[in-house]
Homo-oligomer: A and B are copies of this chain.
Amino acid sequence: MGNFKIGELAAAAGVGRDTIRYYERMGLLREPARTAAGYRLYDATDLERVNFIRSAQELGFTLEQARKLLALRASDTAHAQAVLDITLAKIADAEARLERLSDIRDMLRMLADECPGEVPVSDCPILAFLTARRKDQQHNKKLQAAQDERSSLAKGVLS
């Protein structure tokens, strides 16, 4: 039957060999059967699992979450609610990121719009904005609102 070796599985799934072994170490793939020579032997269900994992990744799930989703899928007592919970958490996470990231974009856009380009750096409003911080910021009306905003921009937004 359709048994394949690691390179074949990797090629079929569109990943590297090392990625397959990595998934195995991470508990995402079962320990496969082996040939007498120690070669890993996979079948169609393994390929399907790798494809599942890649799909989950494309939707923004981490490998750890993919592992949980696979476990839920394999359970015959679990309810879809558990999957939904993970998904809803992911949505909330995405929305939080979206909000912070769009705040940043707005801020950058505003600064970019004010920057004439053809001036010496000493007149660059972007550098001025980065320089004026936590003190002496009672002048510059245009950026004041933005500065209030900025305080709410936490770390890790593009992480």
Contacts and interface: CB of A to CB of B under 8 A. Distances in A.
B90 A108 contact: yes
B117 A81 contact: yes
Interface of A: 48, 51-52, 54-60, 69, 72-73, 75-76, 78-84, 87-88, 90-91, 93-95, 97-98, 101-102, 104-105, 107-109, 111-112, 115-127, 129-131, 133-134, 150, 153-155, 157-159
A22 to B, nearest CB: 15
Contact of A104 (B51, B94, B115): B94
Nearest to A147: B55
A94 B84 contact: no
Given A51-B133, A52-B133, 12 more contacts: A55-B133, A58-B153, A59-B108, A59-B153, A73-B124, A73-B127, A80-B116, A84-B117, A87-B111, A94-B101, A97-B101, A98-B102
